Amino acid sequence: MTNGPGDVSGEVGAQRELLVTDRLWTVPNLLSVLRLALVPVFVWLLVRDELGWAALLLMVSGASDFADGRIARAYGLTSRLGQILDPVADRFYIAATVLGLAAVQVIPWWLVLVLFLRETLIVVMYPVVRHHRLPIPPVTFVGKAATFNLLSGFPLLLLGHVEGWWSTPCLVVGWALVWWGTALYWVTGLVYARQVAVMVRRRREGGVVSR
């Protein structure tokens, strides 16, 4: 059978499976845990109106998100825990960020709705994936780019609300990154939905789906 874009073949799946480790304490996993631990710190900084420090924290988070994927691929540290932990950490951080930024009027609430509708799309597919015992589609480059753009754009929007010569440039670049990130975020959600639909169809037709 010829594989189309987004299809998952048994052979490729088996090859990928060999690259996945069961190790828990890897550098990428520790970076994901660090991102999760910084969520309440970020919220606390926003409550105290420390927008500059909150922006710096978001920059650190964005850097760690970029680094964990690079390290995992470069040193063969991709793990089963990391495949779950990394996107969970990303989602928690983005959720805390968009809610916090909307609360301090840095972004509009309708943008929060757009981002959360995308998350809803992903969540409603979880029961389907579990019911058919499908493999979790791997995090893609586009997905990481979406998260990187959002976590790069949000701190710039925060800095744009701190008085200084940098305010206008930060707002312009920040909004550009946020719009690109939002678009890519939806693209990855739709691609994920298509991958799940293809695997479900193959399972029902008796095809082979990698585990």
> Alpha-carbon distance 27 to 175, whole Å?
32
pLDDT number for residue 108: 95
pLDDT number for residue 211: 46
| Mutual angle of helices 141-160 and 167-204, in 10-degree steps | 150
pLDDT number for residue 178: 94
> Alpha-carbon distance 150 to 157, whole Å?
10
Tell the residue number behind the tokens 């739709």, with chain if given: 190
3-state secondary structure of 151: helix
pLDDT in tens, the chain (211 residues): 334 444 444 433 433 444 666 666 777 778 888 888 888 898 899 888 888 898 888 888 777 777 776 776 666 667 666 666 777 777 787 788 899 999 989 999 999 999 999 988 888 888 887 877 777 766 677 887 887 888 789 999 999 988 888 899 999 999 999 999 999 999 998 988 888 888 888 878 775 544 4
* Residue 78, burial from CB neighbour count under 10 angstroms (0-12, 13-18, 19+): buried
3-state secondary structure of 106: coil
CATH fold for the domain made of 10-204: Four Helix Bundle (Hemerythrin (Met), subunit A) (1.20.120)
Domain boundaries, given as residue ranges, for the chain: 10-204
